[in-house]
Structures are given as structure tokens and as C-alpha cells.
Amino acid sequence: MDIELPAALSHAYLITGGNGARRAALAKRLAAAYLCEGNGPAPCGRCRHCRKVAGDIHPDVTVLAPLPDKKEIGVDQARALRADVYIRPNEGRRKVYLIDPADSMNPWAQNALLKVLEDGPAYAAFLLLAEEPGRLLDTVRSRCEPMPLPPEETPVDPELAEKAEALAELLFAGDEFQVAKGLTALEMEKPKADQLAALLAAAEDRAAGRLARDPARGARVLRALKTCRENAVFNPGPGHTLGRLAAELFQDA
């Protein structure tokens, strides 16, 4: 699932979490968003800038990575980038620097970039991708807005997904009676403890996706699901776990 990009973009982001491919995909969307000149929310995906970013041929997007025979991004590379920053953009409104992986910059390289990260020209934007952000200097990290990717969604089987969807919807929209009835039906299926835990976890994901619809109810649903999922580990038995779910959900409603 794509994470939502902020409407107003900061000049530097530190992209962490997920895996290398997901970080790179998010960085590409952000790069397109900086340069997009389409109508509506950026990136539009259709304007010439978006198309060039997608094709890796936009002249105002520069990728900084270790040289082919090196593990680190060295200080010379960082200095070259720093000099390039002050050359105005070619075609776009912005110049975007993708540093991937940023945690492969050695400390000298990181230090060389501090100044442009702090007060480079307004058109310059920096996307630092890191698997281990702890390897970056505090001074580098503090100059970037954090943009963590959510953990990988584990693939769920379609039946579980459907049940989780139905459960999330029930907890979100049902009144106390409907919820009790639905949970009793679920209990009658006698799910095993691990099946139940998987269902509650998947329902938690689904409920999180509905948060915007009703934040107050959503927060209660998420809390109830989480409490019961953790509880399920200690108290095997669907009756106990599901009974607790309803109680948690309506206790202070």
C-alpha cells in the first residue's frame, strides 16, 4: 500500500524501513512529486516531468550511490554533489538528490553534505534512503524529516483477508448487539489460537485503514483488537478472547 505524501514537501527526507526496493520506489514518487507540473495531487504520473522521473531520465534527478567497486560513498562524491547543488535546475523547478543508500556514506562524506542539507538553495531537495539510519550522524539525521515505511504486509490467504475485512467492518459499524452476535458466530467456528491471532492482526490492519472515517471509534476498535490479540496468546480459547473484544470495545462507549 502506498503511503500518503505530505501536501507541502520538506527539502529533505530520511526514508527508512521497508526494504531497499520499497524505499527506492517511495523516493521515486517523492522525486516526481517535487518536479511534477500536472494538475491535482503530485505526482500526477502523466506530465513530462513525472514520465521522465519514472523512466530514470530526468536531468534534475541525481542519484548518489557507492562507485561500482566501492562499499562506501566517499567524500569526493559528496563534494562533487555539493558543488552540483549550486548549478540551477535544467528543466524542472527543483533539483532532487537521491542518496541511496545514505548509510553507506562515510563520516567525511556526511560532514561534507551538512551545509547543503542545512541551507542549500531553495530548489534543492534531498532524499536519503537508509536501512540503518543509526549509521548516520545525528547532525545529518536532524536535518531531514523522517519518513519511515510501515513494515512489510505479510501475505494473507484470501479467506483470512475476507474474514478480517468483515470483522473490521463489524467492529467499526456494528452496535453492541450486532457485534456480540457476530463474535458469537466467529466463536462457533472454533478457531485455533494462532488462527485467531492472525485474524485479529489482519483485522487490526483493516481497521487502521478505516481510521479516517471515525477516529474515535477507530481508536477504540484498534485498542480492543490489540488487547485481545495479546490476550489470545496467554488465554487460549476463542470464547474468552472474543468475549473480551466486545467488552473492550463497548466498556466506555
Residues binding Zn ion (CB under 5 A)? 36, 38, 43-44, 47, 50
Report, in Å, the least distance between residue 57 CB and Zn ion.
15
Q: Which of 199, 196, 207, 204 is nearest to 233 (CA)?
A: 196
Q: Which is nearer to Zn ion, 55 or 155 (CB)?
A: 55
CA–CA dist 105, 61 (Å, integer): 19
CB of 89 to Zn ion, least distance (A): 15
Q: Helical H runs in 95-156?
A: 107-119, 138-141
The nearer residue to Zn ion, 41 or 239, going by C-beta atoms, is: 41
Instruction: Quote the least distance from Cβ 53 to Zn ion, whole Å.
Output: 8
Distance in Å, CB of 38 to Zn ion, minimum: 4
Q: Which is nearer to Zn ion, 7 or 216 (CB)?
A: 7
Q: Which is nearer to Zn ion, 8 or 253 (CB)?
A: 8
Whether the CB-CB separation of 28 and 162 falls below 8 Å is answered with: no
Give least dist CB 39 to Zn ion, A.
9
Task: For 91, list phi and psi in degrees, rounded to 5.
Answer: -120, -30
Q: Smaller CB distance to Zn ion: residue 45 or 237?
A: 45
Residues 6+ apart with CB under 8 A from 27: 15, 98, 100, 127, 129
**Taking the alpha carbons of 164, 170, 172, 176 in that order, is the dihedral positive or negative?**
negative
